Amino acid sequence: MQSPITSDKLAALEQRMAALGITEGELLEKFVRGSGAGGQKINKTSNCVFLKHLPTGVCIKCQMDRSREMNRFLARRELCDQLDAIREGRAVAKTQAIEKMRRTNRPRSRNSKNRSVADKRNLSRKKSLRKSPSGD
**Which amino acid, 130?**
R
Q: What is the pLDDT of residue 87?
A: 84
Domain of 87? 7-97
Q: What is the pLDDT of residue 2?
A: 59
Q: What is the pLDDT of residue 127?
A: 92
Number of domains in the chain: 1
22 inside domain: yes
Q: What is the pLDDT of residue 136?
A: 57
The sign of the torsion formed by the CA atoms of 25, 27, 32, 37 equals negative
Taking only Cα atoms into account, the Rg of the chain, rounded to an integer number of angstroms, comes to 26
106 inside domain: no
29 inside domain: yes
Give how far Cα 46 sits from Cα of 2, 25, 42, 51, 97, Å.
20, 22, 8, 14, 31
pTM over 0.75? The answer is: no
110 inside domain: no
Give the CATH number, domain containing residue 14.
3.30.160.20
> Do 71 and 62 contact (CB within 8 A), yes or no?
yes
84 inside domain: yes
**Phi, psi values for residue 39, rounded to 5°:** 70, -140
SS3 label, residue 62: strand
Q: What is the DSSP letter of 106?
A: S
**Which amino acid, 12?**
A
Low-confidence spans in the chain with pLDDT less than 70: 1-3, 135-136
Please name the residue ranges forming H helices in the chain: 7-20, 40-44, 68-88, 90-105, 110-129
Q: What is the pLDDT of residue 121?
A: 96
Q: What is the pLDDT of residue 34?
A: 81
